[in-house]
A and B are shown apart, each in its own frame.
Chain A
């Protein structure tokens, strides 16, 4: 599949700072408005009144946001705006940090109905099987490529070698890494390049068969070519998965996402289809940000 076919929209030149596409930006045919109408807009995740506080400082304040199913939602905003905090609240990873308090609801489609993941008694293991995560820097385990991919299934009780091999191959195909590693599955993951490692981490998350994949600036540490590969991959994956991506790169948000949410000082300023956000934002602060007046 070519890059054009999977890119949901083209950024329309409208203001000096945002126009220049990154080196890997493909020529695109579709516009976001079109892409949006073709899609189911039913949300996979509904966030209601989500507040996360570190000690006394509120990290994010009372956020309401729907994350559409099988599409890419980009979270943008300047450093410290709370976009990563919001992301980590979606699979309850914030709780790994001491002194974090969360209020509000995150409703995840779970066996056909929406379930609040902050309700008492929610099984975190089950939650994280449904809502996977890819981190800012590639963080493969100090194990072989194969063992990295099957880490999830293995710990969820799959021990049959053939099943694991099947799952690994499928996930590596999905992550567009299979052809590069099929002959060295037993080589250490650390021997791969940074970009390959990040795709391995995506494969590792896919092998758990989640519904939602959270990505926290997944290309921040990668070169443009590796970044391009991952962006292409996002387009493909969004046909089957609900993806939420934090990015500080506006062009990236424009290239890969269907919906964009703009965060500022812990508040959600605006969320809309990406093209609208980039060309015709409702809020003055969004406009200032996307036109590069601050960042």
Chain B
């Protein structure tokens, strides 16, 4: 076979692979939105779910999802960013550094259901939180930590050394250099990493079933110790455990809303990060 022919075949093959991915994504998105969008109504979004009669909505699940994802990011981002700063700026090659890296990498490959059961044992049982938003958020934070550590370390390492040197040469301390020169320059990449983590938290169910629980308080409350079923958990629960006549309809609606929410979050934070980058780069 001629080199030219092989070249052609190679092109077709990789194009087909890319096309296949697009096709799968399109199919999933399409079927979820086609089945789910008609369900989304003001009533569906603003009324409570019911285990007893058809016609329930997802208002509490929306609230719980925002609450738990926000809380988990509030826990995970400072810790993950701190560890990322340590690894990128302070850690010297050695046993401790390799141990920290090994730990974060191992954490990253643990299946999420294991985190869920771990969270149940530690937060729900041992710490006595029971099914709670706090326990769920803490477990989600642990799930997301490795990702946040890695993206923060990479974002910080990507900042040109010139900028650090400029700051140090002006007589700034290392701490001042990190907070005033390095992190502001890394903010775009950091925001991208946080978006990834938030998106993952938004869609996570296995971690939350046994920690945040599958029920919601009877009234609107910000109590972190109340249980809080999120959208993703609701989607699973409705399909798995519910015998209501409209279970499929509710699941479709929930799935569509979840996908739209994830899109909104990634587009929103992406837009924010680009804007921030542009402003700092002087084009906006």
Contacts and interface: CB of A to CB of B under 8 A. Distances in A.
Interface of A: 91, 93, 96, 124-129, 132-133, 135, 137, 139-143, 151-152, 155-156, 187-192, 201, 204-205, 208
Contacts of A133: 165-166, 169
Given A93-B165, A141-B181, A189 B282 contact: yes
Given A135-B165, A139-B160, A139-B162, A152 B282 contact: no
B162 A151 contact: no
B172 A155 contact: yes
B170 A128 contact: yes
A137 B161 CA distance: 12
A152 B281 CA distance: 21
Contacts of B168: 93, 96, 124, 128
A151 B172 contact: yes
B279 interface: yes
B114 interface: no
Contacts of B109: none
B171 A187 contact: no
Residue picked from B166, B185, B280, most chain A C-beta under 10 Å:
B166
B270 interface: no
Contacts of A141: 163, 166-167, 180-181, 184-185
Contact of A143 (B160, B165, B176, B280): B280
B41 interface: no
Given A125-B173, A137-B162, A155-B172, A143 B167 contact: no
Contacts of A191: 282-283
B91 to A, nearest CB: 13
Interface of B is mostly: helix
Given A189-B282, A191-B283, A132 B162 contact: no
Contact of A151 (B160, B180, B185, B282): B180
A41 B165 CA distance: 31
B184 A135 contact: no
A188 B281 contact: yes
A127 B171 CA distance: 8
B280 A155 contact: no
A242 to B, nearest CB: 16
A96 B165 CA distance: 8
A44 to B, nearest CB: 18
A155 B163 contact: no
A143 B181 CA distance: 9
Contacts of A142: 184-185, 280-281
B171 A201 contact: no
Given A141-B167, A151-B180, A155-B171, 15 more contacts: A96-B161, A135-B165, A141-B163, A141-B184, A142-B184, A142-B185, A142-B280, A151-B181, A155-B170, A155-B176, A188-B280, A188-B281, A190-B280, A191-B283, A208-B171
A121 B283 CA distance: 44
A152 B184 contact: no
Interface in B139-181: 160-173, 176, 180-181
Nearest to B163: A139
Interface string B175-213: 010001100110000000000000000000000000000
Contacts of B160: 139
A129 B170 CA distance: 6
B282 to A, nearest CB: 3
B174 to A, nearest CB: 10
Contacts of B176: 155
Q: Considering the complex of A and B, which 8 residue pairs feature the smallest CB-CB distances, nearest first?
A: A191-B282, A190-B282, A188-B282, A142-B280, A133-B169, A128-B171, A139-B162, A152-B170
Contacts of B170: 128, 132, 151-152, 155, 204-205, 208
A205 B279 CA distance: 24
5 contacts: A96-B161, A132-B170, A151-B170, A151-B172, A156-B171
Contacts of A139: 160, 162-163, 165-166
Nearest to A136: B162
A140 B180 CA distance: 12
A208 B166 CA distance: 13
Contacts of B171: 125-129, 152, 155-156, 208
A151 B170 CA distance: 8
B43 to A, nearest CB: 47
A151 B167 contact: yes
Nearest to B186: A142
Interface in B262-284: 279-283
B157 to A, nearest CB: 15
B117 to A, nearest CB: 43
Tell me which of A137, A141, A191, A192 has the highest count of chain B C-beta atoms within 10 A of its own C-beta.
A141
Contacts of A208: 170-171
A178 B171 CA distance: 23
A143 B176 CA distance: 15
